[in-house]
Amino acid sequence: MWNEAIHSLVFYFLAGLSILTAIAVVGSQRILRAALALAGVLICNAGFYVLLDFEFLAGVQVLVYVGGIVILVVFAIMLTSSVELVENHPSSHRKWIGALAASFFFLVTSSAFLSSDFPVDRNALRSIADVKLLGRKLLDYGAEGYVLPFEIISLLLLSVMIGGIIVARKAPQSEKKK
Amino acid sequence: MMEFLSGISPGIEHWLILSALLFSIGIYGVLVRKNAVGVLLSAELMLNAGILNFVIFNYFITPLIVDGELMALFLIAVAAAEAVVGMAIFVAIYKHKKTVDVTRLDTLKG
């Protein structure tokens, strides 16, 4: 019972925190503050993964998302000098369309979630050594394995790295000649 | 107090509604933000809600296998790739146009 109570207490605390920081991401005037709020949302999500017993995934989330992507976005903000660019108020027309689309999406999905009957399996206990299972699955050639997506992801990351350098490098050759 | 708290322990619906809420906040941001980097931030929010959904279904429906967690790992890698490409494109646009305001980037508008 103690466990359950602490579990639900942590869940509701993290849920409230993540929703508040998510609203800060979309609503704050200064874009740098929005990026920091995004880091808050991502850390809350890592907390959710710990709550659901996915400790490895929580570690990856903090390392890659908070340590990598947020830093990258902060670099993008600095390089495009959006720091000084204070977001002027969006027109109420845009705001209404955004709020309408978001609330419709939320209503439709949550009603679908509430009306459907999920085959929840709470009795089976998760194995502790699931990182081992993860590694085996990632390099498994069989029908249940994920070796092909794993290789494709590595190619994708390589091509993204090269493409990023090419797109964002200094002036192209043709402009230098002028 | 303890009885109340253990009585409202979150089931699958609570988790799914939480992730739907995060996703719809992301939709609002994508539609309302003017700065392109802000749009990218909101898209990251939506991606994160999707990853959370994979993890929730893995935990509640198939607790004995790790496929949902693997999908979440792949999605994190794809999100990193997306952020890199987005940043490169915004830097290139900024060099040409001196702005990243998405309402003023309307060259392709007929």
Task: For residue B71, tell me if it sits in a domain.
Answer: yes
- Is position B4 within any domain? no
> Would you state the pLDDT for residue A178?
46
CA distances from residue B69 to A22, A66, A91, A160, B21 in whole angstroms, order as listed: 23, 18, 40, 23, 21
Q: What would the mean pLDDT of A151-176 be, rounded to a whole number? A: 82
Q: Give the position of tokens 């794993």.
A: A150
pLDDT at A128 over 80: no
Q: What is the ipTM of this complex?
A: 0.89
- Residues in chain B with CB shorter than 8 Å from the CB of A25 are 25, 29, 41-42, 45
Q: Is B29 part of a structural domain of the chain?
A: yes
Maximum Cα–Cα distance across chain A: 75
pLDDT number for residue A94? 84
What residues contact B79, with CB distance under 8 A and at least 6 apart? A65, A69, B44, B47, B48, B51
Domain residue limits at B97: 11-104
Is residue B91 domain-resident? Answer: yes
**Residue A130 sits at the chain B interface (C-beta within 8 Å):** yes
pTM for this entry:
0.88
The total number of structural domains that make up chain B: 1
Q: Indicate the residue type of B10.
A: P
How confident is the model over A38-87, as pLDDT tens digits? 999 999 999 999 988 888 999 999 999 888 899 988 888 888 876 666 66
- Are B10 and A99 in contact (CB < 8 Å)? no
Domain with residue B88: its CATH number is 1.10.287.3510
| Plot region of A81 (φ>0 → left; ψ -120 to 50 → alpha; else → beta) | left
Structural domain includes residue B1: no
- Whether residue A60 and residue B76 make contact (CB cut-off 8 A), yes or no, is yes
Residue B47 counted as domain residue: yes
Local confidence pLDDT in tens for the 110 residues of chain B: 667 776 677 888 889 999 999 999 999 999 998 888 889 999 999 999 999 999 999 888 888 888 888 999 999 999 999 999 988 888 888 888 888 888 888 888 77
pLDDT band at A31 (very low <50, low <70, confident <90, very high): confident
Spell out the long-range contacts of A61-68 with Cβ–Cβ below 8 A and sequence spacing 24 or more.
Answer: A61/B76, A64/B76, A64/B77, A64/B80, A65/B48, A65/B76, A65/B79, A65/B80, A66/A39, A66/A42, A68/B80, A68/B83
Q: Please check whether residue B33 lies inside any domain of the structure.
A: yes
Closest approach of B3 to chain A, Cα-based (Å)? 8
- Between chains, do B5 and A109 touch, taking CB under 8 Å as contact? no
B102 and A CB contact within 8 Å: no
User: Does residue B37 fall inside a structural domain?
Assistant: yes
